[in-house]
Chains A and B, each alone.
Chain A
Amino acid sequence: DGGITQSPKYLFRKEGQNVTLSCEQNLNHDAMYWYRQDPGQGLRLIYYSQIVNDFQKGDIAEGYSVSREKKESFPLTVTSAQKNPTAFYLCASSNRPPFEQYFGPGTRLTVT
């Protein structure tokens, strides 16, 4: 089955620790994205990548980092510099016009 996987589903960390969220897709999509969703709010773009070894900052990139070493994988690191890391993180991918995005199941990160 083609799709996007994210792991883990729930993640708990102590303040001051970096944490890496996994995102893998087997849809052969060129573009991948990371979003953050807070309760009652819309999706906000953190980073996106159109091609391997290239990525661009989104609207709220501060405190986050990404890599795109393989087409299938786009991991997100939430660093200790991110002031409010507790959120629902969603990974997506897309390909070709009209560029509709397909989402993974998300990771709920709680930092205490």
Chain B
Amino acid sequence: RKEVEQDPGPFNVPEGATVAFNCTYSNSASQSFFWYRQDCRKEPKLLMSVYSSGNEDGRFTAQLNRASQYISLLIRDSKLSDSATYLCVVNQSGGYQKVTFGTGTKLQVIP
């Protein structure tokens, strides 16, 4: 089983739709979790951290389910500008090392 697993997509959704991605992780001792956004041929950019109680930033909601070992990202009212690849990132050790990136889920928002 991969350490961090994501559905590669692509997820093609119409503008205004709600879309959700999941990301599973294998190490139950993982300490912190993040979602990054990567546009084509650009660097990943931190979208949001994922907190145990769940957190929201505008149209984006992130949740953590430790029992089932997955995190999720929900995007409401999708915009064309949300089209990108979304990377799930897991810090397994609680330290500087052992940060694992998922391979990403591609989202295409269609007019």
**A interface residue numbers (CB < 8 A to B):** 30-31, 33, 35, 41-43, 45, 48, 50, 56, 88, 90, 94, 97-106, 108
CB atoms of A97 and B94 under 8 A apart: yes
CB atoms of B42 and A94 under 8 A apart: no
Give a binary string over B79-103; 1 marks a CB under 8 Å from any A CB, 0 the rest.
0000000010101001111010111
**Given that A42-B87, A42-B104, A43-B101 are known contacts, is A98 also in contact with B43, CB under 8 Å in the complex?**
no
Which size bracket describes the interface of B in this complex? Answer: 20 to 34
Give a binary string over B29-47; 1 marks a CB under 8 Å from any A CB, 0 the rest.
0011010000001111110
Min CB distance B61 to A, Å, is: 18
**Given that A42-B102, A43-B101, A94-B96 are known contacts, is A99 also in contact with B32, CB under 8 Å in the complex?**
yes
CB atoms of B44 and A90 under 8 A apart: yes
CB atoms of B43 and A105 under 8 A apart: yes
**Given that A42-B104, A43-B101, A90-B43 are known contacts, is A100 also in contact with B95, CB under 8 Å in the complex?**
no
Which of B32, B89, B96, B103 is the one whose CB lies under 8 Å from A50? B96
